[in-house]
Amino acid sequence: MGTGWSRRAFIQTAALSGGAIAMARKLKAQDSAPRPKLKLGFDNFSIRALGWKAPQLLEYAASLKVDTVLLSDLDVYESHADAFLKDLKKKADDLGVEVQVGTGGICATSKMWNPKWGPPEEHLKITIRVAKALGSGVARCFLGRGEDREPGTGLDRHIKEVVKVFKAVRSVALDTGVKIAIENHAGDMQAWETVALIEEAGKDYVGATMDSGNATWALEDPMRNLEILGPYAVSTGIRDSALWDSPNGAFVQWTAMGDGQVDWKAYFKRFAELCPSCPVQLEIISGFSKEFPYLKEDFWKAWPRVRGHEFAKFVAMARRGKPRDPFKPVGDRKKADQEFQKSELEKSIAYCKETLGLGLKK
């Protein structure tokens, strides 16, 4: 009997070992299999100090050999006339640069609302028309900023206003095939709140502009933000973040790609699984820090629904970080800002291409 049991144990062990080896080979094959190549580009806000208009931005994008550019404001066009947009579309096609179109805030109850482009519905219709003319499948916009969370204003009120605006232009978006891309912007909404807005409005014509830097301004770990927003993402604003503890809570400083704390290799591996057709568009905003005094009781009046397990990841990032110096311009401030912004963007693009393997062009 002992010999029989030994033989049986041997057979079972061999079978299990064979299965384990087969599984290991399968996992290795999956890991080494080529992943989808992600398009790489930038948001023109990255080099806002230069004041360039759309034609020059397209030429610059082509010179950097990126795939896309997000023209994220309506002022970047010298005209919104059909003839001008047609010529601009041809220029983009000739240069091999895909354009995504965007604008600013479309929430009339937000502190960031600017009536320059008319009522929110008309503002969004203009943006959709420009997007259609330039071959953009998205029209990026946002609600507001972190101050809209303050007691007395109420984020829910703003979200309802945005949903109302979106529903008013739903037929226009569907007729043109342009998807409204709401951004998690400057601490206005956490990822789950952005998703709730999209679901309420209708994900058939509304998606997300996923901003990794704004995630940290909303007390989120960018990886967790990606898990929630990734399935809805049709556009992006990507930058690195550095966090560190302060006596009152934590500081956040946005950085160039690779200069912060985000594990970008892990991030884009997951990105390629969740939203492989979405472009990686760098919105580099470096050089200053912002404190989030979460150890003070009053701070939480604006954040009544923060999820503890997600906030813990933000705190963990801060505890791993070290203080960073701010950008200190020397000489002419405008020129210094221009050189700094351009340098930070180009360094980020190089990092994404050379270290992360992003982009379709060599």
Q: Where are the alpha helices (DSSP H) in 190-304?
A: 191-201, 212-216, 222-229, 264-274
pLDDT tens for 335-354 read 999 999 999 999 999 999 99
pLDDT beyond 90 at 189: yes
* pLDDT at res. 151: 85
Residues 6+ apart with CB under 8 A from 315: 250
Answer yes or no: are the C-beta atoms of 232 and 208 closer than 8 Å. Answer: yes
Residues 6+ apart with CB under 8 A from 319: 245
Answer yes or no: are the C-beta atoms of 131 and 181 closer than 8 Å. Answer: no
Answer yes or no: are the C-beta atoms of 275 and 230 closer than 8 Å. Answer: yes
Mean pLDDT of 71-93: 98
Q: What SS3 state is found at 358?
A: coil
Tokens of 70: 């997000």
* 320 phi/psi in degrees, rounded to 5: -85, -15
Angstrom distance (rounded) from CA 154 to CA 210: 23
Domains observed in the chain: 37-241+256-287+344-354 (3.20.20.150)
pLDDT tens for 127-151 read 999 999 999 999 999 999 999 998 8
Mean pLDDT of 257-263: 98
pLDDT tens for 278-330 read 999 999 999 999 999 999 999 999 999 999 999 999 999 999 999 999 999 99
| Order of strands across the sheet that contains 249-255 | 240-246, 249-255, 289-292
For the chain, what is the mean pLDDT? 92
* Residues of the chain by 3-state class (helix, strand, coil), percent to 5: 50, 15, 30
* DSSP string computed for 166-211: HHHTHHHHHHHTPEEEEE--TTS--HHHHHHHHHHH-TTTEEEEEE
pTM of the model: 0.90
pLDDT tens for 17-39 read 555 455 445 545 444 545 679 99
CB atoms within 10 A of CB 183: 26
Displacement of CA 276 from its chain's centroid (Å): 14
Angstrom distance (rounded) from CA 302 to CA 296: 12
pLDDT beyond 80 at 225: yes
* pLDDT at res. 110: 96
Angstrom distance (rounded) from CA 168 to CA 181: 15
Place of tokens 């809570």: 249
